[in-house]
Amino acid sequence: MGNYDKNSKIGVLGAGAMGSFFGGLLAEAGLDVVLIDVWQEHVDNINTKGLRIVGVGGDRQVKVRASSNPSAEGKVDIVFVQCKAAHTKEAILGAKNMFSKDTVFISFQNGLGNEELVAELMGKDSVLGGLTAQGANIEGPGHIRAHTNLTTWIGEMDGKDSARVKQLCQLFSDHGLPSEASMEIKKQIWCKLLYNLAVSPMSTLTDLSLREVFETPGSRVVADLLVKEGLAVAKAEGVNIPPEEADHILEKVIASRQENKTSMCVDVLKKRQSEVDFINGRVVALALKHGLDTPVNKAMVFCVKALEAKYLGEKQ
């Protein structure tokens, strides 16, 4: 693997809210970044006017390059995989000419199985796990709103200490994206998954914000059942998360009283394929492997996919 410094070239696969935000922060601080996305109007606005970032950090236009044609791009050293989980394979294969044997991939996607999929395509040693407390949403083409300026974590999926991870975290921290090396990135990804098992489908099926979901009587009972099933599957997968730790994580999410709807809810509202297969569906699939039953998560998968069937039909 190569050395990573201020001359490294970075490609962002999936310039949605978070991909645009990460790429925009690094480009604003002087790194060479290209945002890859299929949304042509978004790409065009970024190239002609710059990426507009509002909210935390102030209102500004950031000069960063964007493209909807990765086959025309040169090689990059670092790839942020930030597309929707269902589109990972398509995005990686469509941009393969941008990668060399030394390119490193960092997945910041929702759910489980993303790193494994990238590893199948590009090799296990080239893939790192990522997780962030940052938040952003799309306001319009070429326009995002930043909600936080919090920590991002990166780590080797096997939990080993890693010089390249430390080097990458230092590079990103020096250029506007506060990052820390983690030797527990797999556990951290599971912890994020646990609260997403609850908040994502519950927001989707009710069309409510997180605050509204958990102000509704009975919501915590459903959430606890979903998380309990997830904990059993995590343990079977060798990831031990104490129930009280999972409860604390969910409590923090509830206490935040967020006014936003989940990305899964937004996907369904916009008649797009959601990431339910990589969140609740992934837990259901892993449970079957270990002979466990997850009836509440199965119910969530069925209900979300029934909604998708109204507009996706057999494509779902």
Mind giving me the DSSP string for 86-151? GGHHHHHHHTGGG--TT-EEEE--SSSSHHHHHHHHH-GGGEEEEEE---EEEEETTEEEE-----
pLDDT tens-digit series, residues 229-269:
999 999 999 999 999 999 998 998 888 888 888 889 999 99
Could you tell me if 112 and 141 are in contact, meaning their C-beta atoms sit under 8 angstroms apart? no
Q: Which residues contact 116 (CB under 8 A, 6 or more apart)?
A: none
The stretch 9-19 carries a mean pLDDT of 97
Mean pLDDT of the 196-213 span:
96
Concerning whether 192 is annotated as a catalytic residue, the answer is: yes
Percent of the chain with pLDDT over 90: 90
| Nearest one of 154, 230, 160, 163 to 195, comparing CA atoms | 230
Asked whether 273 and 308 are in contact (CB, 8 A), the reply is yes
Arithmetic mean of pLDDT over the chain: 95
Residue 97's pLDDT is 96
Length of the chain measured in residues? 316
> According to the model, what pLDDT value does residue 134 have?
86
pTM of the model: 0.91
Question: What per-residue confidence (pLDDT) applies to 253?
Answer: 86
What's the Cα-to-Cα distance from 295 to each of 70, 199, 220, 283, 284, rounded to whole Å? 42, 17, 17, 11, 8
* pLDDT tens-digit readout, 109-157: 999 999 999 999 999 999 999 999 888 889 999 999 998 888 999 999 9
Mean pLDDT of 271-299: 97
Task: Examine the pLDDT at 316 and tell me if it is beyond 80.
Answer: no
From 75, 101, 160, 192, the catalytic residue:
192
Higher pLDDT: 256 or 300? It is 300
pLDDT, residue 26, reads 98
Positive or negative, the CA dihedral 146, 147, 151, 152 is: negative
Two tokens, residue 171: 């590079």
Contact 116, 92 (CB under 8 A): no
